[in-house]
């Protein structure tokens, strides 16, 4: 045994548990932990500009690759409360991140001391464990339990709160004797797999709904194998996008009332058996439940037992890790006497819809219609790109029109959808995918929420491309206000006195100037025929300078994106021909794109 401070033991545990990528801000109450990291030398750290941004960076890093656990660090008081949105986003999407906060000394915790807040109680509803450690000797056990909990059953975040005196108290600890605790995960039985196959055998038009649990379980290959073995079409949820390549013959397209494709909804409405694997039956996926459920049976497989029946009671439910369930299904299908029905004709019907039911994207009008942006992104970035997005019309339109071909290549804050998540999460993703092309997608409001984190990418040389589709509106809120016959407090437009005379001055914030001021490269596109060139230039700038590159695309002010309340009642909109008088009309010359270098 070796005598050391509790924080020195904590750092050794981080290393042994494989959680060596940290994001945060030092402060008086967490400085002992920072001193331990500095002395150790093996824990990497990225200095954020805001603690909420650091929590989203840790979240993005976790999502970027199997087995990752991002770590967020902050001092006492407001640093912990700033982490709450990040903890909520991670918990909602079943992502394990570890948040560590400093705390006032134990003796003053009930005396309203400076920046002494009961962060464990505040964080409890959005974590799997939130604990203030009052005895230094408990630090190793708390960290050991935290890692086990984060990895067990439905993954999720943990917060550990360390009073400054606890951090500095010496304990006896031997890292060689420390062993991570095995995570607990439920697994489907062969009998349950056989029951599911019985239901499949009775069906004519089965379809698999592939949720984010398949991504978490690193089981995309087994999903595709099972689909190919049975010829059952697969529809990914927003969180499961990439579990089957978009161009796979059995990829039936995303289903939903917002994030969806037309052919995906059409095929789903023809199904008679739905096999949900690792999904939540989220309301943006199902819409009106009477329409969603009518005429079809449901199997629900999820790692969290309380998810079974939470939204509606399935015909058969199984509490299981998605990968374990697919293993059981594959084994049962291979050994099943008499086999299963041939669903090839049904799969061919679904494939045929993919060639006919699309929305128009090739618009040439000025100002730019958003659909054209996603068409150009598909062409510019190809199949290897990783997209990062969170909320708004930009995310909804992106999910309707972009293409994803690999797991963990669409990274999205699905349930919480916090504005501002995209930028810092993209930095975390880029840290987890060095050398790969990472592209963030934001509307102007999402982009403005945590725009200061661009400086983190500039300082630490974290390259990614950030596409900002700017209509100077809270576009999704404006569209939802149509039901109230109003357009109220949702416009971000104003005449920017610092850019008077420029084509985009009426759009308010000069995102290009702000991004450049934060140490990044940026360019603006106002002509649809220059979008592809702008994206090409952005990639070159990213590779050359190894910093974030912002591509701001000036859109028409008002575009309604297709959505509805039920799968059979999606409102299809033609983009509007007229825009407000302050909309820009000038072209951005090609020379300006080149000059950005």
- For residue 192, which phi and psi values (nearest 5 degrees)? -65, -40
* 8 A C-beta contact, residue 201 and residue 30: no
Q: Quick check: is 432 in a domain? A: yes
**Same domain membership, residue 390 and residue 505:** yes
**Same domain membership, residue 406 and residue 385:** yes
* 8 A C-beta contact, residue 492 and residue 444: yes
Q: Can you tell me whether residue 488 is helix, strand or coil?
A: coil
Q: Model-level pTM?
A: 0.93
Per-residue pLDDT of the chain (597 residues; tens, 9 = 90+): 899 999 999 999 999 999 999 999 999 999 999 999 999 999 999 999 999 999 999 999 999 999 999 999 999 999 999 999 999 999 999 999 999 999 999 998 888 888 889 999 999 999 999 999 999 999 999 999 999 999 999 999 999 999 999 999 999 999 999 999 999 999 999 999 999 999 999 999 999 999 999 999 999 999 999 999 999 999 999 999 999 999 999 999 999 999 999 999 999 999 999 999 999 999 999 999 999 999 999 999 999 999 999 999 999 999 999 999 999 999 999 998 778 999 999 999 999 998 877 888 888 888 999 999 999 999 999 999 999 999 888 899 999 999 999 999 999 998 888 999 999 999 999 999 999 999 999 999 999 999 999 999 999 999 999 999 998 877 677 888 888 887 777 777 788 888 766 656 788 889 999 999 999 999 999 999 999 999 999 999 999 999 999 999 999 888 888 899 999 999 987 643 333 333 323 233 333 333 443
Q: Is 420 exposed, middle or buried (0-12, 13-18, 19+ CB in 10 A)?
A: buried
CATH of the domain at 119: 3.40.50.970
Output helix, strand, coil percentages for the chain, rounded to the nearest 5. Answer: 40, 15, 40
Structural domain boundaries enclosing 254: 190-354
Q: Quick check: is 304 in a domain? A: yes
- Quick one: which of 187, 283, 200, 285 has its CA closest to 236? 285
Look at the chain and report how many structural domains it folds into: 3
**29 vs 20: CA distance, rounded Å:** 21
* 8 A C-beta contact, residue 432 and residue 65: yes
| Per-residue pLDDT at 499 | 77
Q: Quick check: is 200 in a domain? A: yes
* 8 A C-beta contact, residue 206 and residue 232: yes
**How many C-beta atoms surround the C-beta of residue 526 within 10 A?**
24
**390 vs 411: CA distance, rounded Å:** 8
Q: Quick check: is 51 in a domain? A: yes
Tell me the CA end-to-end span of the chain in Å, nearest whole number. 57
Please name the residue that has the structure tokens 């008081």. 77
**557 vs 430: CA distance, rounded Å:** 31
- The first and second tokens of residue 387, run together, are 């997209």
CA separation (Å) from 345 to 236, 245, 552? Answer: 21, 20, 45
**Same domain membership, residue 218 and residue 172:** no
Q: HSE of 36 in the Cβ direction (CA atoms, 13 Å)?
A: 21
**597 vs 538: CA distance, rounded Å:** 9
Angle value at C-alpha 307, between 568 and 150, nearest 5 degrees: 125
Q: Quick check: is 50 in a domain? A: yes
- Which of 298, 322, 354 corresponds to the end of one domain? 354
**Same domain membership, residue 248 and residue 108:** no
Q: Quick check: is 360 in a domain? A: no
**Same domain membership, residue 395 and residue 297:** no
* 8 A C-beta contact, residue 86 and residue 97: yes
Axis-axis angle for helices 6-16, 31-40 (nearest 10): 60
**256 vs 440: CA distance, rounded Å:** 22
**Same domain membership, residue 390 and residue 322:** no
**409 vs 403: CA distance, rounded Å:** 10
- Which of 149, 177, 205 corresponds to the end of one domain? 177
- Quick one: which of 451, 468, 465, 450 has its CA closest to 394? 468
Distance of CA 483 to the CA centre of its chain: 29
**Same domain membership, residue 533 and residue 402:** yes
**Same domain membership, residue 347 and residue 474:** no
* 8 A C-beta contact, residue 588 and residue 525: yes
- Which of 354, 388, 410 corresponds to the end of one domain? 354
- The first and second tokens of residue 160, run together, are 């550990």
Q: Quick check: is 108 in a domain? A: yes
**Same domain membership, residue 201 and residue 165:** no
- Quick one: which of 505, 516, 520 has its CA closest to 426? 520
The helix (H) or strand (E) run that includes residue 131 is strand 129-132
| Per-residue pLDDT at 593 | 37
Q: Quick check: is 183 in a domain? A: no
What is the DSSP annotation of 315-352?
SEEEE--HHHHHHHHHHHHHH-TT-----HHHHHHHHH
Please name the residue that has the structure tokens 């299809």. 572
Angle value at C-alpha 486, between 482 and 490, nearest 5 degrees: 95
- Quick one: which of 34, 43, 50 has its CA closest to 84? 50
**Same domain membership, residue 548 and residue 436:** yes
CATH of the domain at 265: 3.40.50.1220
- Quick one: which of 428, 477, 460 has its CA closest to 90? 428
* 8 A C-beta contact, residue 477 and residue 560: no
What DSSP state is assigned to residue 541? H
CA separation (Å) from 125 to 87, 119, 160, 251, 279? Answer: 10, 11, 14, 37, 21
Cis peptide preceding 367, ω within 30 of 0? yes
**Same domain membership, residue 140 and residue 216:** no
**Same domain membership, residue 387 and residue 340:** no
| Per-residue pLDDT at 338 | 78
Axis-axis angle for helices 51-64, 422-432 (nearest 10): 40
Q: HSE of 474 in the Cβ direction (CA atoms, 13 Å)?
A: 12
Q: Which residues of 354-389 are buried (b: 16+ CB within 10 A; e: fewer)?
A: beeeeeebebeebbbbbbbbbbbbbebbeeebbbbb
């Amino acid at each position: 045994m070796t005598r050391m401070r509790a924080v020195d033991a904590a750092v050794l545990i981080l290393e042994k548990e494989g959680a060596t990528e940290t994001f945060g801000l030092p402060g008086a109450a967490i400085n002992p932990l920072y001193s331990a990291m500095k002395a150790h030398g093996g824990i990497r750290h990225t200095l954020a500009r805001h603690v909420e941004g650091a929590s989203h960076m840790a979240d993005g890093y976790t999502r970027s690759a199997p087995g990752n656990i991002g770590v967020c660090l902050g001092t006492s008081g407001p640093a912990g409360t700033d982490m709450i949105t990040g903890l909520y986003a991670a918990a909602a999407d079943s992502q394990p991140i570890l948040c560590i906060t400093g705390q006032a000394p134990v003796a003053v915790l009930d005396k309203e001391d400076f920046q002494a807040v009961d962060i464990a109680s505040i964080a409890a509803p959005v974590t799997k464990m939130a604990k203030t450690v009052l005895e230094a000797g408990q630090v190793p056990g708390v960290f050991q339990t935290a890692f086990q909990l984060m990895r067990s059953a439905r993954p999720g975040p943990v917060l550990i709160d360390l009073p400054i005196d606890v951090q500095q108290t010496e304990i006896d600890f031997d890292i060689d004797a420390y062993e991570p605790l095995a995570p607990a995960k439920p697994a489907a039985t062969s009998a349950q797999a056989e029951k599911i196959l019985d239901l499949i055998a009775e069906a004519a038009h089965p379809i698999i709904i592939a949720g984010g649990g398949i991504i978490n379980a690193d089981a995309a290959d087994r999903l595709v194998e099972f689909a190919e073995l049975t010829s059952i079409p697969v529809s990914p949820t927003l969180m499961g996008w990439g579990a089957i390549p978009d161009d796979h013959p059995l990829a039936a397209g995303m289903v939903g009332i917002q994030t969806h494709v037309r052919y995906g909804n059409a095929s789903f409405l023809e199904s008679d058996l739905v096999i949900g694997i690792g999904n939540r039956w989220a309301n943006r996926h199902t819409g009106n439940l009477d329409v969603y459920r009518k005429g079809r049976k449901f199997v629900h497989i999820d790692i969290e037992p309380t998810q079974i029946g939470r939204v509606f009671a399935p015909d058969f439910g199984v509490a299981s890790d998605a990968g374990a369930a697919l293993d059981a299904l594959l084994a049962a299908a291979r050994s099943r006497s008499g086999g299963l029905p041939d669903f090839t004709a049904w799969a061919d019907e679904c494939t045929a819809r993919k060639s006919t039911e699309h929305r128009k994207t090739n618009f040439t009008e000025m100002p730019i219609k958003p659909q054209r942006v996603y068409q150009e992104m598909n062409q510019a970035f190809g199949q290897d790109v990783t997209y990062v997005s969170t909320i708004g019309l930009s995310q909804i339109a992106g999910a309707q029109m972009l293409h994803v071909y690999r797991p963990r290549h669409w990274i999205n804050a699905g349930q919480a959808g916090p504005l501002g998540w995209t930028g810092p999460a993209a930095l975390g993703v880029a840290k987890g995918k060095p050398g790969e092309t990472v592209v963030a997608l934001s509307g102007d409001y999402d982009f403005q929420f945590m725009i200061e984190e661009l400086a983190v990418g500039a300082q630490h040389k974290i390259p990614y491309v950030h596409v900002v589709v700017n209509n100077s509106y809270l576009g999704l809120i404006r569209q939802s206000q149509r039901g109230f016959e109003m357009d109220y407090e949702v416009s971000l437009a104003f005449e920017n006195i610092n850019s008077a005379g420029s084509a985009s001055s009426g759009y308010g914030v000069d995102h290009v100037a702000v991004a450049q001021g934060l140490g990044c490269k940026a360019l603006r596109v106002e002509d649809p025929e220059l979008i592809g060139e702008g994206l090409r230039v952005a990639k070159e700038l990213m590779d050359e300078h190894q910093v974030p590159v912002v591509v701001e695309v000036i859109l028409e002010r008002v575009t309604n994106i297709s959505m509805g309340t039920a799968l059979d009642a999606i409102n299809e909109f033609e983009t509007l021909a007229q825009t407000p008088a302050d909309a820009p009309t000038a072209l951005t010359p090609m020379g300006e794109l080149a000059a950005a270098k």
